[in-house]
Amino acid sequence: MITHISSRDVRYPIGSGHGSDAIHKDPVYSYAVTLLTDDKGRTGSGLAFTLGEGNDLVCKAAEFYAARLQGRCIEEIMANFGALQKEMADEQQFRWLGPHKGVVQLALASVTNACWDLWAKTRGLPLWKLLLELTPAQVAATLDLSYLEDVLTHEQAIELLTNPTASRADREGILTSGYPGYDTSVGWFNYSDEQVRENCKRAIDAGFTAMKLKVGSKDPERDLRRARIVREVAGPDARIMVDANQQWTLPQALDICARLKEINPFWIEEPTHPDDIIGHKTLADAIAPVKLALGEHVPNRIIFKNYLQVECAGFIQVDAVRVAGVSEFLAVSIMCKKFGVPVVPHVGDMGQLHQHLVLFNHIGLDLPAVFLEHIPHLREHFVNPVRVEDGVYRTPQDIGASCDLI
């Protein structure tokens, strides 16, 4: 039974140009943390990611949501969590502040993730293993599929979860070999050209074969120059992604993305405003076969549904500390399975939670194991930081979702 509820407003100024992009020039990586403690002394820790100011507002909203869990058993909560999550999302006093976006959605992410962490700890399992041990019907019961019924019903979700079970053994080798990673830290926006060059060399030496460069400069020539540096150092076979963090208008994106094609990017990420679905479709058609990667700044499953419907996303970057937690992440992943689009999460959690989720997506859903973003700047703050060796994530063995902060 959950006996104590609290929240933490945790902020980490990064400095030295780390974490910088075209929008966030001096980021303060922050977590709104929900803590759910039961009568056995176990504490579920749930994260939502912000960039500093306003983190306290997310904590306050999370406390409001979490209060309804007081005195309840986590097994009872998770047996029909989808209905409970919908009930919380429909809270009449908060719905005008959303719905399904902004502070209240981040708060729901924090509470949802705390529930999943406590459930895994109660079962004595790493989250990835808990997910794989649940039946398709049990997984589906944790999902709020409202507003998705035109493309994904409850019955279809169960079918999509059931179909891959017969071939699971073919994909379980990844638990031993490790999940591929890619290095986001070679080309933060504020890094000098020489830093970018040296970081590319270090990434290659560390075993990475894929890396990302931040773009979106006021002068497009700076972006092109730095992109050429990454391609030159990494070589022709490396997968290079460029990320504009929503900086460009559609006319700018059409021009600059066409010019970036010279470096053969694996994807172009977040080129323009995340709500501009038709704009993304226009851009995707214009720059094909180069693909767009979309989702870091998308707050809910409905926008992801629209991206998939208009076929503008080559990769979906749903983030479980940005949407309404693990449950909405899974709902989006199941949609992606239906539409045949890979899930390559953004990792506002620094990969702590997502290392579990991508293992489930690959083994349990038979989604391709493309790779998972690696950002090392907060590892000293986690009780069980991710282990990345030779460019791959090593499978976490500690119980829970790896989100406990020191």
Give, for 46, the enclosing helix (H) or strand (E): strand 43-50
What is the average pLDDT across 137-151? 98
Q: For residue range 14-41, list pLDDT tens digits in order.
A: 989 999 999 998 999 999 999 999 999 9
Neighbouring residues of 104: CB distance < 8 A, sequence distance ≥ 6: 61, 91, 94, 95, 97, 98
To the query of whether residue 100 is one of the catalytic residues in this protein, the response is no
Q: Helix count (H) and strand count (E) of the chain? A: 16, 12
Cα pseudo-dihedral 390, 396, 397, 400, rounded to 10:
170
Mean pLDDT of 69-92: 97
Looking at residue 45, the DSSP 8-state letter turns out to be: E
Region 185-190 average pLDDT:
97
pLDDT band at 347 (very low <50, low <70, confident <90, very high): very high
Question: What are the two backbone dihedrals, phi and then psi, of residue 7, each rounded to the nearest 5 degrees?
Answer: -135, 160
206-249 residue pLDDT tens: 999 999 999 999 999 999 999 999 999 999 999 999 999 999 99
What integer pLDDT is reported at residue 82 of this predicted model? 98
Band (pLDDT 50/70/90 cuts) for residue 338 is very high
**Is the CB of residue 38 less than 8 Å from the CB of residue 122?**
yes
25 is known as an active-site residue: no
CA–CA gap between residue 81 and residue 92 (Å, rounded): 19
How would you class 104 by CB atoms within 10 Å of its CB: exposed for 0-12, middle for 13-18, buried for 19 or more?
Answer: buried
Instruction: Pick the catalytic residue from 100, 337, 346, 362.
Output: 346
Taking the C-alpha atoms of residue 356 and residue 131, their distance in angstroms, rounded to an integer, is: 9
All domains in the chain, ordered by first residue:
2-123 (3.30.390.10), 168-393 (3.20.20.120)
Phi first, then psi: what are they for 74, rounded to 5°? -65, -35
In this prediction, what percent of the chain has a pLDDT beyond 70? 100
Flag whether the pTM goes above 0.95.
yes
Catalytic annotation, pick one of 129, 214, 280, 356? 214
Mean pLDDT of 265-285: 98
